[in-house]
């Protein structure tokens, strides 16, 4: 190994993908049992490594020296070999500091709430204090060390301005979870979440709905990796490097989700997008039929609309947990808030519009098999579609033209 990452479970790590963009040398993921950490470090088989949970403190006794930052935090996430000796540092603090700057969070003189008491919470406390926070209060389910309970945080610190989540709450596969109700802190100015899978936790979605700048952990992960690579190679990357890699990763990991009226062309445009991008495409209506073992009209006729909607929610929860896809949804997929949330956690919702005269009723759409039903659906659902959508694309030409517009107008 030249460069790499050690930890106990690394199945969902993005680190190799980030470091592949920072240098030509291979970057390997190496899972180690607790009793294998010392032997690996003493083997000398690397130039530089990153360290993730649960070994950020485990490695410290085996190092020849650590940085002041790592000493203050009490954790090491980067180890470099220099002249045969091992030196530890902590680049998580730099990554979090850059994340806070990215969302415009000004901490100086303000109260900061840090959810959690694990290793990342210590990083957050260090970063907040370094940035001049008036107070950096850690929050735990039970009061311990210097932490307060969630109830105390909501009662005594309602004037907190910055919220940083360092707990795994909301992490895959429990994306529906949320650590707190941010309504408890009416003066919040920014929210940062260390969780990066999914791309947007419910905490981040809740903050954005209130107009509060908020970002998940993918940028923090990218920024700390850039800083680690600088330590590995003894160099400096251009200031825009972390932002560039973050946006590249986001485009790779984020789903493109097509929503809109029955007959608006979601399935045909998703097929065109698949041809143009090489990404996998899924159709939630097709998956529902596969799951039920019957057609959608049969489900409506034999089991009723509620059963269909329940199946739809199950399918959406399953497919939206994965990234890098094109997802064509049914016309009523966004009627349930839980579906919108699931799709937004890893996806960008594109409303596909089509002129009303081109929305043709068909017998295989139980709720849109006559023109009267189609017209009523359009009136009822238009506000729902617009509220859920991140952007709108009109299908006025070919499906390929609409697909190209989605690609060309995607945010950088």
User: What separation in angstroms does the CA of 59 have from each of 64, 81, 250, 293?
Assistant: 11, 14, 31, 53
- Our answer to whether residue 56 is catalytic in this structure is yes
Cα gap 53→10, rounded to integer Å: 9
Cα gap 264→352, rounded to integer Å: 6
Cα gap 170→203, rounded to integer Å: 8
CA-nearest of 393, 409, 276, 255 to 328 is 255
Write down the H helix ranges in 254-334. 266-277, 284-292, 296-303, 305-320
CA-nearest of 177, 324, 309, 355 to 255 is 324
Instruction: Catalytic residue, from 56, 110, 253, 344: name it.
Output: 56
Q: Cα–chain-centroid distance for residue 249?
A: 11
What are 132's two structure tokens?
């001049």
Cα gap 260→264, rounded to integer Å: 6
How many angstroms separate the most distant Cα atoms in the chain? 79
Q: Angle of helix 202-209 relative to helix 337-346, nearest 10 degrees?
A: 110
Contact 137, 114 (CB under 8 A): yes
| Paired strand residues for 393 | 352
CA-nearest of 237, 235, 228, 241 to 48 is 228
Residues in contact with 38: Cβ distance below 8 Å, sequence separation at least 6, in sequence order: 62
Residues labelled catalytic: 56
């Amino acid at each position: 190994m030249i460069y790499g990452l050690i930890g106990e479970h690394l199945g969902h790590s993005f680190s190799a993908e980030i470091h592949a963009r920072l240098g030509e040398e291979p970057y390997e993921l190496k899972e180690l049992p607790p009793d294998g950490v010392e032997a690996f470090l003493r083997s000398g088989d690397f130039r530089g490594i990153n360290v993730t949970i649960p070994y950020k403190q485990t490695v410290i006794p085996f190092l020849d020296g650590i940085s002041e930052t790592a000493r203050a935090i009490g954790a090491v996430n980067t180890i470099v070999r220099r002249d045969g000796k091992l030196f530890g540092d902590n680049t998580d603090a730099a990554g979090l500091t850059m994340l806070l700057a990215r969302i415009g969070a000004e901490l100086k003189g303000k109260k900061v709430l840090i959810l959690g008491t694990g290793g990342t919470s210590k990083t957050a406390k260090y970063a907040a204090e370094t940035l001049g926070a008036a107070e950096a209060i850690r929050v735990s389910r039970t009061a311990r060390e210097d932490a307060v309970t969630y109830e105390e945080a909501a009662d005594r610190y309602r004037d907190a301005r910055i919220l940083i989540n360092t707990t795994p709450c909301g992490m895959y596969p429990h994306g529906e979870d949320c650590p707190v109700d941010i309504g408890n802190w009416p003066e919040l100015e920014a929210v940062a979440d260390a969780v990066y899978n999914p791309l947007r936790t419910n905490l981040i979605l809740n903050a954005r709905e209130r107009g509060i700048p908020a970002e998940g952990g993918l940028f923090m992960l990218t920024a700390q990796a850039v800083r680690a690579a600088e330590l590995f190679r003894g160099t400096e990357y251009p200031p825009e490097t972390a932002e560039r890699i973050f946006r590249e990763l986001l485009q790779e990991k984020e789903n493109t989700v097509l929503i809109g009226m029955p007959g608006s062309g979601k399935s045909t445009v998703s097929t065109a997008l698949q041809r143009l991008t090489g990404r996998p495409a899924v159709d939630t209506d097709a998956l529902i039929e596969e799951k039920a073992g019957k057609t959608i009209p049969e489900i409506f006729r034999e089991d009723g609309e509620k059963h269909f909607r329940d199946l739809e929610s199950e399918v959406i929860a399953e497919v939206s947990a994965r990234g890098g896809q094109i997802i064509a949804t049914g016309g009523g997929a966004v009627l349930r808030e839980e579906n919108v949330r699931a799709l937004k956690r890893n996806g960008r919702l594109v409303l596909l519009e089509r002129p009303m005269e081109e929305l043709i009723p068909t017998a295989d759409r139980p709720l849109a098999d006559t023109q009267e039903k189609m017209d009523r659906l359009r009136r009822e659902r238009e506000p729902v579609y617009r509220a859920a959508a991140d952007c709108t694309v009109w299908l006025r030409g070919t499906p390929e033209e609409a697909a190209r517009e989605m690609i060309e107008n995607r945010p950088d």
